[in-house]
Amino acid sequence: MAYVLLKTLGVRWFDLLLGAVVIAAAIATLTVLTSVNASAESQVHDLAHRLGKNMLVVPAGTSLTAFYGMSYGDASMPAALPERILSSDLAEHISSAQARLYGNVDANGVPIVLGGEAARARGQPPTEGAAAEVVLGRTAARRLGVEAGAYVVIGTARLRVARVTDTPPDGLDLAAFTSLATAQQILGRPDAINALRLAGCWCRIDVPTLAAKVERRFPGTRAVTVAGVMKAQTGTVAAARRYSKVLTAGAGALIAGIVALLGAAQVRRQRREIGLLIAIGARARLVVLLFLVEAVLLGAAGAIGGYLAGHPLTAFYTARLVGLPLPVVPGQFVPLAALAVLMSLVGTAVPALWAARLDPTTVLREV
Amino acid sequence: MIDVRRVSKRFAGRGGRAVAALVDVDLRVQAGELVMVTGPSGSGKSTLLFTLGAMLKPTSGEVFLGDTSLYRVSPGRRAELRRTRLAFVFQTFNLIPYLTCLANVALAASLAGRARAASLDRARTLLGRLGLGARLHHRPAELSVGERQRAALCRSLVNDPEVLLADEPTGNLDEPMTDEVMRLLADLRDGGLTIVMATHNLRVARLGTRVVALREGRVADDWPSVLPQAAA
């Protein structure tokens, strides 16, 4: 019977290919969605870890999702903001300020993140890295194909790679770090920063209160704390999860629907063959089994195709949505394949029962 | 062997009116008979054969194959009877178009539970015996009409059935091929196979050991053929 099944599949290869493509599309969509959701969740934890007890001040119009997705817009704050904060009455709570300007640039034709930094401790003059040097995250170095000591052209500047680090600031592995002045020059934004990290001992004031004071005292800023970000990101993840439930249900329905349509088409087209099988003694359950096996194969083929297609699609969409081409979250294949196979089985149930109940005395006499 | 007791079969017709295909049919077929069921179109020949073949439950009455009442057993048991004790040949052959001649015949053997190799061996032997040894790997479309009917006959015989039911097996054949098929059936009957065959061709009908004439679903005549040995 396996031979007959294989032959049947061979005869209907185009229908089955079409069905597998639709299932693959559904599974690829779910692969991307699950990966985006998981990345958003992991970003929350990563962010909490990176922020620690510190506070991040960004321009008020900054989209944090885009910011943490390494997609930086034009919003900026004056470069003098650290000095103004450190000379205000809030300075007693703040021990140091790191001013940064992030931007998206091309280096040797590869899109990377450029970060310029100038740190300043309370009562101390600002310190900056060497103007003509850059520190690269490991991934950035690999993509650029450079090592320490080499030169890299970022925007309009030719900079020497001082070192390649496995522990880049804020975990920005796909970034190049240089002095604030150099970044401002390359990005064409003199006297602008778009991130200010404040560190200190919050023993006399709680962080949310200090954040509110910073925003009030310096209009146009937004003070980000772990508590606030966690709340916002958790909301985003929850919304994404709700959305993903709808999409998962939709994908499942699509898979069941396409398999049901294919099954129904098969029953209509191959009614004589099915009728013959019944006439020569095939049990109803064998007919049903043939449909179920076909559904399992179709679902599995679609799942494998969808999962494979999901890798480049996840990289593509996460690059657009969160700014980084993220990998597919491991461990997704089994549940997605189970979904595809299960919904294929659900979809094939009605045509299979229809086929098993075909009356051979009717179909075999049709001319 | 086969005992048909007061079998009636009614189908729902247009407007909810029932159409009687068989009316109180009584028929006994002994082992080794070659019974020809004749009658004009719509007389109930095919309905009777399908009923004998455990495929069409009568509206009333009973059909026995030996001691087994075909429609008192489960559908699964009826399927088993179709695999093992009963066989069917159709006017339109009903070979699966995308399987080779060999695979079409082996399929029936596989359904009966034979291993694939054994099924293929058995199919190969039968096809060789019926003169299709050179056509094993041809698909139905590549066979002549007569060859297709012989292949269909092989499929029906592959599980050594006790009864062969043939619904107008010569209906699509020309005269020489009809004679060839009838010679085969006569040989099989001589080998002990019980055959019930529907035909509206009186020349063919006379080649049976017995002729049963149906008219409007009733047995109108039942007589021994005057030329029972003609086919041999």
Which of A273, A361, A362 to substitute to test the interface with B, most B CBs within 10 Å?
A: A361
Neighboring chain A residues of B81 at a CB cutoff of 8 Å: 281
**Sequence-ordered strand ranges (E) for chain B:** 2-12, 18-29, 34-38, 60-65, 68-69, 86-89, 163-167, 194-198, 210-215, 218-224
Neighboring chain B residues of A272 at a CB cutoff of 8 Å: 94
Q: How many CA atoms lie within 13 A of B118 on its CB side?
A: 8
Please tell me the predicted confidence (pLDDT) of residue A226.
65
Q: How far is Cα A71 from Cα A73, in angstroms, rounded to an integer?
A: 7
Q: For B15-46, what is each residue's pLDDT tens digit?
A: 778 889 999 999 999 999 999 999 998 899 99
pLDDT in tens, chain A (367 residues): 777 777 777 778 888 999 999 999 999 999 988 877 776 666 656 656 665 667 889 999 887 667 777 778 889 999 999 989 988 888 888 888 889 999 998 888 888 899 999 888 777 777 766 678 899 999 889 988 999 999 998 888 899 999 999 888 777 888 999 999 999 999 999 999 999 988 886 677 777 788 889 999 999 998 877 666 566 556 656 666 677 788 889 999 999 999 999 999 989 988 989 999 999 999 898 999 999 999 999 999 999 999 999 999 987 876 666 545 677 888 889 999 999 999 999 999 999 999 999 999 888 876 5
Please tell me the predicted confidence (pLDDT) of residue A39.
67
Q: Are A299 and A343 in contact (CB under 8 A)?
A: yes
- Cβ pair B94:A361 closer than 8 A: no
Cβ contacts of A206 within 8 Å, gap of 6 or more: none
Q: How far is Cα A197 from Cα A119, in angstroms, rounded to an integer?
A: 9
Q: How many CA atoms lie within 13 A of B224 on its CB side?
A: 6
Please tell me the predicted confidence (pLDDT) of residue B118.
93
Three-state DSSP class for A214?
helix
A364 backbone dihedrals φ, ψ, rounded to 5°: -80, -10
Structure-token pair, residue A313: 């699609």
A218 backbone dihedrals φ, ψ, rounded to 5°: -125, 85
A185 backbone dihedrals φ, ψ, rounded to 5°: -70, -45
Q: How far is Cα A297 from Cα A341, in angstroms, rounded to an integer?
A: 8
- Cβ pair A281:B80 closer than 8 A: yes
Which of A266, A283, A367 to substitute to test the interface with B, most B CBs within 10 Å?
A: A283
Q: How far is Cα B115 from Cα B4, in angstroms, rounded to an integer?
A: 35
Does residue A14 belong to the interface with chain B, where contact is any CB pair within 8 Å?
Answer: no
Q: Are A195 and A102 in contact (CB under 8 A)?
A: yes
The DSSP call for residue A196 is: E
Structure-token pair, residue A257: 């629907």
Please tell me the predicted confidence (pLDDT) of residue A322.
55
Q: For B55-91, what is each residue's pLDDT tens digit?
A: 999 999 999 999 999 999 999 999 999 999 999 998 8
Please tell me the predicted confidence (pLDDT) of residue B7.
95
Q: Which of A293, A265, A284 is nearest to A360 (CA)?
A: A284
**Sequence-ordered strand ranges (E) for B55-209:** 60-65, 68-69, 86-89, 163-167, 194-198
Predicted confidence (pLDDT) at residue B230 exceeds the cutoff of 50: no
Residue with tokens 């349509």: A261
For A13, other C-beta atoms within 10 Å of its C-beta total 10
Does residue B9 belong to the interface with chain A, where contact is any CB pair within 8 Å?
Answer: no
Q: How far is Cα A103 from Cα B103, in angstroms, rounded to an integer?
A: 68
Please tell me the predicted confidence (pLDDT) of residue B93.
86
Amino acid at A39: S
Task: For chain A, positions 27-56, list CB contacts with chain B under 8 A.
Answer: none
Predicted confidence (pLDDT) at residue B229 exceeds the cutoff of 50: no
Q: Which of B31, B39, B25, B64 is nearest to B211 (CA)?
A: B39
Three-state DSSP class for A307?
helix
Neighboring chain A residues of B55 at a CB cutoff of 8 Å: 278-279, 360-361
Of A1, A3, A272, the CB nearest to B94: A272
Q: How far is Cα B34 from Cα B196, in angstroms, rounded to an integer?
A: 6
Q: For B94-140, what is each residue's pLDDT tens digit?
A: 899 999 999 999 999 999 988 989 999 999 999 998 889 999 999 99
- Cβ pair B98:A8 closer than 8 A: yes
Structure-token pair, residue B157: 């015989």
Q: Which of A311, A322, A266, A228 is nearest to A24 (CA)?
A: A311
Q: How many CB pairs under 8 A join A and B?
A: 67
Please tell me the predicted confidence (pLDDT) of residue A319.
62
Cβ contacts of B174 within 8 Å, gap of 6 or more: B145
Q: Are A227 and A56 in contact (CB under 8 A)?
A: no
Q: Which of A328, A355, A188 is nearest to A267 (CA)?
A: A355
Q: How far is Cα B167 from Cα B189, in angstroms, rounded to an integer?
A: 16
Q: Are A198 and A57 in contact (CB under 8 A)?
A: yes
Does residue B191 belong to the interface with chain A, where contact is any CB pair within 8 Å?
Answer: no
A346 vs chain B: nearest CA distance in angstroms?
Answer: 24
Three-state DSSP class for A357?
coil
For A154, other C-beta atoms within 10 Å of its C-beta total 23
Please tell me the predicted confidence (pLDDT) of residue B10.
93
- Cβ pair A4:B46 closer than 8 A: no
Does residue A366 belong to the interface with chain B, where contact is any CB pair within 8 Å?
Answer: no
Q: Which of A248, A249, A255 is nearest to A341 (CA)?
A: A255
- Cβ pair A279:B84 closer than 8 A: no
A299 vs chain B: nearest CA distance in angstroms?
Answer: 24
Q: How far is Cα B195 from Cα B162, in angstroms, rounded to an integer?
A: 9
The pTM for the full model equals 0.68
A66 backbone dihedrals φ, ψ, rounded to 5°: -70, -40
Q: How far is Cα A221 from Cα B159, in angstroms, rounded to an integer?
A: 87
Does residue B225 belong to the interface with chain A, where contact is any CB pair within 8 Å?
Answer: no
In total, chain B counts a number of residues equal to 232
Does residue A280 belong to the interface with chain B, where contact is any CB pair within 8 Å?
Answer: yes
- Cβ pair A281:B79 closer than 8 A: yes
Cβ contacts of A42 within 8 Å, gap of 6 or more: none
Please name the residue of chain B whose CA is at the shortest distance from the CA of residue A286: B111
Of B47, B98, B111, the CB nearest to A281: B111
